[in-house]
Structure 1
């Protein structure tokens, strides 16, 4: 049997799970068998022998060039310099992530190029070139032999060589390895499946895969291939968890709501970006799973958008969102204020719809003069319990708000049918973020029916901040971790972004004003100020229950350091723009003054 035919038969046997054997009969030539075995040994240890292979190739090339083109040595030296410089500057794009890897590759390229130039000009046997090749080659080979990723590549290759046995053990007979790549965190490989097998069969066998590959629990990921073929899948195995530690927030990734917001990195270091323009969002997860962290990330990016006005509802009396009050145009911290806020949002929705119809337009394009309205609701289930009348307004916004850029982002622990208002709002939410859940059935509640069986295993997330994202641009289960914003980062970001927050557009302001100008019998009662001391303030003066009267009462009773803008917004039930406009009018009349940034008081407290 010829060596080439023996190698071909051995490959076929490995493909179908059989161990190749070498059988020697009287007709075989013993030197040929030894050559085959030696060739297999060289191929198996090709990575370890790479430095010697490079040295031999360098000697042969220098010998040929010395005999044919010895005058080329300056060009060889210049080429080596260019290659080394390119590896240092552009090596990251070539897969050399770490700086030490790029420096090592550039050093090897420069050393090989210099020796090749010298060998071309003087000959490879010219002293001391052989001694330099020997000692320098050994010194440069040591980092290669000790390199973690090279050793990982060898380990992966040998593990995949045993894939026929692994696939037979876990019930995926006939599957085959198509390609494999080693990266910073582990390795990934593309596999072809046998007839009748699908990616759902592989997903169901993930625990068995982890056992067969000898990894830790939760280290195996199964995804469809980019070409989306039904008989292929991509296997990703992590040696190191890239999300083991918290990842600091690098700062806002957008300046407009039309741009994708970066929530955090996936496990392959690519950003988990999501579009929020004219989309509603749902954030779900158990207590302590990291929902507050992603809300801070959203606030940090939305507050940087010059074409988005932010309203917020935080029924924990502002405990979560109060630090962002400088960037929130209107903040509701009790059920009455939440109901009034959502009622006004529906009024804005209808006013914008009338304006679009009058101007022959179908959608509201957010700009700095006509911004989108984003309503962020923390603990939506509490809103359903304490302000059930507001749920109908939320459902109306969910059904009709996208075209007019009035958007809802709701966060809750379990978005059950009761909490979400008979499910009408939940079905309108295109963007879903699922953090760790306690029960497997909660995965379908947050991400949608059938997502658990499709491989969206949010119950296996093992650290706060880790989440799965489901959106039109994210249709495969990939783990990400939300950035971490410290309290200091929140305060600094809110103080920085409050300068360029846009006011509510004229169309929306006119709609709100027209609603308030209606006779009292035709509209709901204005929001009641439930803050401490509200009764005493409202008892002073004639019509102090009006927002203007409440505003003046608070300014008149303010201490020397003044009253924060957020308190004025909460007491009056009005937005930031309205409060600032009234303050500017009072300042022009010299009846009020700004004590410090964001704090005001009356200059004539005795004036009615």
Structure 2
């Protein structure tokens, strides 16, 4: 038994250190080699804590040698120390010094070390007060190093990884080994190589055992494939604390153009979940209360800061979710009839843009403030499919043909089944997928795509509102993120800030909408004439007459444009054009944003 225990200890030592120390006893029964080996191991094991002492010893030794051999080198050493300090201060982030304070500290250490070495080389270490300066200054510069959080975390992680061979043996992954490790803001991640015959699926099944072996909290371990997609590699992500435990306030818009990727929220490694929406349709899915509406708010908040995009929206919950953004939304549909009209006009826009591009030999529509992109946001898409099933043809056309002409569709729904998505090609055209928490495992594949659950996209494990998984061409690895939270005050502030920069549709698109509506009216002219005849002379009033009657009878605070649109049954561009014509003639005035009335003299 004793022999077996000794062999097991030797095997563990070989796995951990790569060799078995030789034990030699002298005649007195002492173990000098064992003591030397233990000292050597201690110096290596605590190399991070002892680094300032190692540096001071190296400087003292090098300075003494250079003083007796090349004392004339001191100017070059001073210049080298200064140059190294500037390099670290300016480009230290490329050497792993992510924070400005870390780069400044490294620059101070380099400058101090270079200056002291130059002085010792010229004057000798016995020159007063060089030796006390090394001790005192070294101690002062060592304190930040000893208490630095990331250094302490890295030491702890390295010691955990030193024990990985034993952990792998215990959990059934014997033969796997660590290749590299990096400590970040909220934890650490490491790249591992698997033994022959092991796959990442084996590792995913061992996640609870890995959490137990590393002593983490439940749910702290993530397992991802490596970016090179090698079957015998995987990346282990371990959190010290859950960075998404609490809601994260929205910091404000991350873009100023639709051509830039939008920041939806931070990943667990503190990087931003940025995704480009230009020429891409998007799908947001998840159960009720999972954070879809919050994700929509983040998108709209960023889009309102872009003067090269016009926002249309459909909210069949009577505008309950998107009404706060109405001042920045060019067109908001809250009823099935309005939704059908909006989508029909969107098809007319993309067809007119396609014809305009073809006539000029251009392949894509490049968004500008004069020629803005069009983004259509649909909250609870399933409601649209139920209440306006005849609109499925238009959404399908937008999804298939909107890419080149910068007409983008963003849809949010709980379960994007084929029935809920209108039985068309809409879901298959969604290139950006955002999955919030789902209740059933099969819903992961419905939102993110077939087979995503089997390769690690476990949206059913998201445990708080706002947490999501992002699948896009630039995001092909399952990484958890949390959407920013926009409170009502933030929405109101954003609307007030961006309302004056919101663009209107270009002349090509506006003309297409008016022609499409004129065509519909012409197509139903006979039915309208019969209806007007039955309703009497009052119903025969033209839209212009109705508009003028409403403006003439408007109160001092004016009448909202939305009321004018509803009363005249005309489009927003039509109403605004008539208002501009009347305003140029001095017959009407704008009381405040979105409110108009006739001038006092003209109404009399």
- 1:556 pairs, out of 546, 549, 552, with 552
Would you say 1:270 and 2:271 are equivalent positions?
yes
Q: Distance in 2 between matches of 1:453 and 1:373?
A: 36
- Size of the aligned set, in residue pairs, is 588
TM-aligned CA distance change 1:570 to 1:120, over 3 Å:
farther
In the TM superposition, residue 339 of structure 1 has moved relative to its aligned partner by: 1.5
TM-aligned CA distance change 1:490 to 1:578, over 3 Å:
farther
What is the DSSP-based 3-state SS (H/G/I as helix, E as strand, rest coil) of the residue aligned with 1:517?
helix
The C-alpha deviation readout for 1:137-186, integer Å capped at 9, x for no partner, is 33433332332222222211111111112112222221111111222221
Q: Which residue of 2 aligns with 1:222?
A: 223
The C-alpha deviation readout for 1:347-371, integer Å capped at 9, x for no partner, is 3333334444555555444344433
Would you say 1:591 and 2:592 are equivalent positions?
no
Q: Which residue of 1 aligns with 2:503?
A: 502
The C-alpha deviation readout for 1:432-454, integer Å capped at 9, x for no partner, is 11112233222222111221121
Indicate if the aligned counterparts of 1:80 and 1:109 stay in contact, CA closer than 8 A. yes
TM-aligned CA distance change 1:147 to 1:504, over 3 Å:
closer
Indicate if the aligned counterparts of 1:543 and 1:549 stay in contact, CA closer than 8 A. no
TM-aligned CA distance change 1:430 to 1:22, over 3 Å:
same
Q: Which residue of 2 aligns with 1:149?
A: 150
Q: Distance in 1 between matches of 2:414 and 2:225?
A: 30
Mean Cα deviation higher: 596-605 or 229-238: 596-605
Q: What pairs up with 1:285-296 in 2 under 5 angstroms?
A: 285-296=286-297
The C-alpha deviation readout for 1:428-484, integer Å capped at 9, x for no partner, is 111111112233222222111221121111122233322111111211111222233
What is the DSSP-based 3-state SS (H/G/I as helix, E as strand, rest coil) of the residue aligned with 2:59?
helix
In the TM superposition, residue 63 of structure 1 has moved relative to its aligned partner by: 0.7
Q: Which residue of 1 aligns with 2:5?
A: none
In the TM superposition, residue 485 of structure 1 has moved relative to its aligned partner by: 3.0
Q: What pairs up with 1:23-172 in 2 under 5 angstroms?
A: 24=23, 31-84=32-85, 86-88=87-89, 90-172=91-173
TM-aligned CA distance change 1:365 to 1:48, over 3 Å:
closer
In structure 2, the gaps of 5 or more residues are: 1-8, 529-534
Q: What pairs up with 1:277-288 in 2 under 5 angstroms?
A: 277-288=278-289
Indicate if the aligned counterparts of 1:432 and 1:446 stay in contact, CA closer than 8 A. yes
TM-aligned CA distance change 1:526 to 1:228, over 3 Å:
farther
In the TM superposition, residue 283 of structure 1 has moved relative to its aligned partner by: 0.8
Q: Distance in 2 between matches of 1:18 and 1:127?
A: 44
TM-aligned CA distance change 1:222 to 1:90, over 3 Å:
same
What is the DSSP-based 3-state SS (H/G/I as helix, E as strand, rest coil) of the residue aligned with 1:215?
coil
In the TM superposition, residue 53 of structure 1 has moved relative to its aligned partner by: 0.6
Q: Distance in 2 between matches of 1:113 and 1:524?
A: 90
Q: Distance in 2 between matches of 1:95 and 1:288?
A: 40
TM-aligned CA distance change 1:64 to 1:264, over 3 Å:
same
In structure 1, the gaps of 5 or more residues are: 1-9, 528-537
Q: Which residue of 2 aligns with 1:535?
A: none
Please, what is the CA RMSD of the aligned residues? 3.3
Q: Distance in 2 between matches of 1:497 and 1:60?
A: 64
In the TM superposition, residue 59 of structure 1 has moved relative to its aligned partner by: 0.1
Q: Distance in 2 between matches of 1:458 and 1:502?
A: 37
Would you say 1:306 and 2:313 are equivalent positions?
no
Q: Which residue of 2 aligns with 1:3?
A: none
The C-alpha deviation readout for 1:506-537, integer Å capped at 9, x for no partner, is 3333332222223647359999xxxxxxxxxx
The C-alpha deviation readout for 1:37-91, integer Å capped at 9, x for no partner, is 3322221121122121111101011112212333443444454445445545554
**TM-score, structure 1 normalization:** 0.87
What is the DSSP-based 3-state SS (H/G/I as helix, E as strand, rest coil) of the residue aligned with 1:347?
helix
Indicate if the aligned counterparts of 1:15 and 1:176 stay in contact, CA closer than 8 A. no
TM-aligned CA distance change 1:424 to 1:27, over 3 Å:
farther
**TM-score, structure 2 normalization:** 0.87
In the TM superposition, residue 266 of structure 1 has moved relative to its aligned partner by: 2.1
What is the DSSP-based 3-state SS (H/G/I as helix, E as strand, rest coil) of the residue aligned with 2:511?
helix
Q: What pairs up with 1:92-491 in 2 under 5 angstroms?
A: 92-422=93-423, 424-491=425-492
What is the DSSP-based 3-state SS (H/G/I as helix, E as strand, rest coil) of the residue aligned with 1:518?
helix
Indicate if the aligned counterparts of 2:587 and 2:602 stay in contact, CA closer than 8 A. no
TM-aligned CA distance change 1:100 to 1:397, over 3 Å:
closer
What is the DSSP-based 3-state SS (H/G/I as helix, E as strand, rest coil) of the residue aligned with 1:297?
helix
Mean Cα deviation higher: 247-256 or 448-457: 247-256
TM-aligned CA distance change 1:16 to 1:128, over 3 Å:
closer
Indicate if the aligned counterparts of 1:435 and 1:468 stay in contact, CA closer than 8 A. yes
